[in-house]
C-alpha cells in the first residue's frame, strides 16, 4: 500500500545515490514499513521506483523477512499485470531496497473516489486484468493475501480505440511464497496480515492456511465496490467488520446484470469450496459475460440465436409501439376442426347418383323413340323397333378419403359438393331405308288391237 509521503522523514534521501547507481529524485509515497522514491538508474538513465525499508524498522527481523518475502514473490513472477522487480540489495547504511518499474497512473482506490461506481463493463474489464495477474501468481505458488484497491495500479496504454486502462498488481509484502515457511496469520504489533475489510473468513476466524481462493474473496469485495461505489459491509470497529465478513450474507446488486451479481455472490461465499476453483475460472466467467450482447441473460441470448429474416416478415400498416390491447367486446372466432366424413354417407350418395344416371338414360331413350315414330308415320309403316336396352345402375365403390391437414385460417371453409356430371343423350338410331315394293303382274294380259290401215 502506498500512502502520501511524510516529507520531513523522506527528504533525507533526496539527491542521494544508493548502491552507487540509484540517484533519488523525488518522494513518491510511503507505506507501513517502507518509503517509495523516484530514482534514476545509472548508467542507463532509466527512471525506476525505488522502495526502501524505513529506518525505524531497519533492525526488526520480522519486517526485514517481510521485505525479503516481497522481493522473492516478485522474482517468481513474470506477467504484464504484476509489477516487475528490477533489482534488490542493501544500501551503504544497511537498509534493504528494491528497484521496480516506475508506473504512472492512479490506484483503483483513487479512481473510485474520483468517479464513484464504475460502469459494469469497465468494472469487469478491470477485474479481468486483475484475474490475469492473480492467475500468474497462483501458478507460481504465490498467494497475495492483501488484495485491495490501494494495491491495484491503473496505468494508461495506447489501444486501437484510444487510451485504455492497464492493471498492475502491487505490494506483495505479505504474500505467501512457494517456500511455505511463512503461514503466519498475525504480523507484528498484533495486526492482521492484510486488511480486515478484504480478508476471507477462513483467514480471519479459523486460522486456515491461505489458498488462492482467499484472494478470490478479496477480488469479490473489490468487484462489489467497483459496481456499487460502496463497501460490502460497514462497521465502527475492525472486530465488528470481521464478524460481518465471517457471518453475514452480502446484499445482492440489483443495478447490474444478473450474471454479474451471481459471480459476485459466488466470490463472496463463506466456504472456500463454494467459490470458483481458481482465478482462471473467474477469468473465463467474465469473458463469457462480456461476450454476450449488452450482458443480457441467457434467455435473451437464446432469442438472439433465432434466425429471423426481416424480408419475409409481414409489414404492419401501423407499427406497434406498445403491447396490443384486446377489446372485450370483440368476439374472436373459435376454430373448429372439420368433421371426418362418414363412409356410409359417401356410399349412399354414390348409390343415389348412379340411380339418377340410370333414370336419365331411360328417359332419353324414350324421347328418341317417340321422335322416330313421328318420322315413320309420314313415310310409311315403321320398322319394328328393337326392344330398348335397360342399363342397370352402376354402383360406385366407396372411396377412402385421407384426412385433410389442419387449415391455417382461423375459420374452416367446407369444400363444395362434387359436381354432377352432365347426362349425355345417346345418339339417335339410324333408320334403315324402306324396302322397294314390287308391283304385281297383270293377271289378264290386255290385247291392244292393231289400228294400222
Radius of gyration of the chain, Cα coordinates, nearest whole angstrom: 53
CA–CA separation, 364 vs 425, rounded Å?
6
pLDDT at residue 63, rounded to an integer: 83
Say if domain 7-101 classifies as CATH 3.30.200.20: yes
Q: Over the chain (453 residues), what is each successive 10-residue block's mean pLDDT?
A: 49 85 91 86 94 82 86 89 94 89 95 96 96 94 92 87 88 76 43 80 73 94 97 91 92 94 96 94 95 54 40 42 46 50 60 69 57 48 51 50 54 56 60 61 53 49
Structure confidence at residue 300 (pLDDT): 41
- Of 383, 385, 391, nearest to 423 by C-alpha is 391
From the candidates 60, 146, 261, 288, which is the catalytic residue?
Answer: 146
Q: Which residue has the cell 540509484?
A: 22
* CB count in 10 Å sphere of residue 251: 13
Query: Which 3-state string (H, E, C) describes the chain?
Result: CCECCCHHHHHHHCCCEECCCEEEEEEEEECCCEEEEEEEECCCCEEEEEEEECHHHCCCHHHHHHHHHHHHHHHCCCCCCECCEEEEEECCCCCEEEEEECCCEEEHHHHHHHHCCCCHHHHHHHHHHHHHHHHHHHHCCCECCCCCHHHEEEEEEEECCEEEEEEEECCCCCCECCCCCCCCCECHHHCECCCHHHCCHHHHHHCCCCCHHHHHHHHHHHHHHHHHCCCCCCCCCHHHHHHHHHHCCCCCCCCCCHHHHHHHHHHCCCCHHHCCCCHHHHHHHHHHHHHCHHHCCHHHHHHHCCCCCHHHCCCCCCCCCCCCCCCCCCCCCCCCCCCCCCHHHHHHHHHHHHHHHHHHHHHHHHHHHHHHHHHHHHHCCCCCCCCCCCCCCCCCCCCCCCCCCCCCCCCCCCCCCCCCCCCCCCCCCCCCCCCCCCCCCCCCCCCCCCCCC
146 is catalytic: yes
Rounded to 5°, the CA angle 283-285-289 comes to: 115
Instruction: Tell the residue number behind the cell numbers 538508474, with chain if given.
Output: 41
CB atoms within 10 A of CB 423: 13
Residue 125: per-residue pLDDT: 96
What phi-psi label fits residue 207: left (phi over 0), alpha (psi between -120 and 50 degrees) or beta?
left
pTM > 0.85: no
- The CATH H-level (homologous superfamily) assignment of domain 105-181+192-300 is Transferase(Phosphotransferase) domain 1 (1.10.510.10)
Longest Cα separation, the chain: 202
Q: How do the domains of the chain map onto residue ranges?
A: 7-101, 105-181+192-300
Partners of 107 in beta bridges: 153
Closest CA to 133 of 119, 151, 116: 151
Amino acid at each position: 500500500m502506498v500512502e502520501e509521503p511524510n516529507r520531513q522523514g523522506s527528504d533525507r534521501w533526496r539527491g542521494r545515490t544508493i548502491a552507487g547507481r540509484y540517484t533519488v529524485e523525488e518522494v513518491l509515497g510511503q507505506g507501513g514499513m517502507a518509503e517509495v522514491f523516484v530514482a534514476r538508474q545509472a548508467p542507463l538513465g532509466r527512471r525506476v521506483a525505488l522502495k526502501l525499508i524505513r529506518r525505524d524498522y531497519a533492525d526488526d527481523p520480522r519486517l526485514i523477512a517481510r521485505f525479503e518475502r516481497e522481493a522473492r514473490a516478485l522474482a517468481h513472477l513474470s506477467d504484464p499485470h504484476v509489477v516487475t522487480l528490477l533489482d534488490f540489495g542493501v544500501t551503504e547504511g544497511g537498509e534493504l531496497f528494491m528497484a521496480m518499474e516506475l508506473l504512472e497512473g492512479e490506484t483503483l482506490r483513487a479512481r473510485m473516489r474520483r468517479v464513484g461506481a464504475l460502469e459494469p463493463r469497465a468494472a469487469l474489464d478491470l477485474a479481468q486484468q486483475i484475474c490475469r495477474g492473480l492467475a500468474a501468481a497462483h501458478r507460481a505458488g504465490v498467494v497475495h493475501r492483501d488484495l485491495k484497491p490501494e494495491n491495484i495500479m491503473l496505468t494508461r496504454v495506447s489501444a486501437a480505440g484510444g487510451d485504455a486502462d492497464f492493471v498492475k498488481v502491487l505490494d506483495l509484502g505479505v504474500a505467501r511464497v512457494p517456500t511455505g515457511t511463512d503461514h503466519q496469520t498475525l504480523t507484528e504489533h498484533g495486526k492482521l496480515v492484510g486488511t480486515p475489510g478484504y480478508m476471507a473468513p477462513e483467514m480471519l476466524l479459523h486460522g486456515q492456511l491461505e489458498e488462492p481462493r482467499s484472494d478470490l474473496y478479496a477480488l469479490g469485495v473489490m468487484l462489489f465496490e467497483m459496481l456499487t461505489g460502496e463497501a460490502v459491509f460497514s462497521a465502527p470497529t475492525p472486530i465488528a467488520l470481521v464478524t460481518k465478513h465471517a457471518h453475514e450474507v452480502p446484499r445482492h446488486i440489483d443495478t447490474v446484470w444478473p450474471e454479474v451479481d451471481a459471480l459476485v455472490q459466488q466470490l463472496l461465499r463463506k466456504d472456500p469450496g463454494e467459490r470458483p476453483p481458481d482465478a482462471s475460472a473467474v477469468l473465463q466467467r467474465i469473458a463469457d459475460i462480456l461476450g454476450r450482447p449488452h450482458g443480457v441473460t441467457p434467455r435473451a441470448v437464446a432469442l438472439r440465436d433465432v434466425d429471423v429474416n426481416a424480408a419475409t416478415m409481414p409489414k404492419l400498416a401501423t407499427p406497434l409501439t406498445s403491447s396490443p390491447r384486446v377489446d372485450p367486446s370483440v368476439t374472436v372466432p373459435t376454430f373448429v376442426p372439420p368433421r371426418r366424413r362418414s363412409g356410409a354417407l359417401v356410399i349412399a350418395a354414390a348409390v343415389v347418383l348412379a340411380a339418377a344416371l340410370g333414370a336419365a338414360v331411360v328417359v332419353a331413350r324414350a324421347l328418341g323413340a317417340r321422335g322416330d315414330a313421328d318420322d315413320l308415320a309420314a313415310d310409311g309403316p315403321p320398322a319394328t323397333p328393337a326392344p330398348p336396352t335397360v342399363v342397370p345402375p352402376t354402383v360406385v365403390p366407396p372411396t377412402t378419403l385421407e384426412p385433410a391437414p389442419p387449415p391455417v385460417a382461423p375459420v374452416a371453409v367446407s369444400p363444395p359438393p362434387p359436381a354432377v356430371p352432365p347426362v349425355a343423350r345417346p345418339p339417335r338410331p339410324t333408320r334403315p331405308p324402306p324396302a322397294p315394293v314390287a308391283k304385281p303382274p297383270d293377271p289378264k294380259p290386255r290385247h291392244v288391237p292393231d289400228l294400222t290401215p
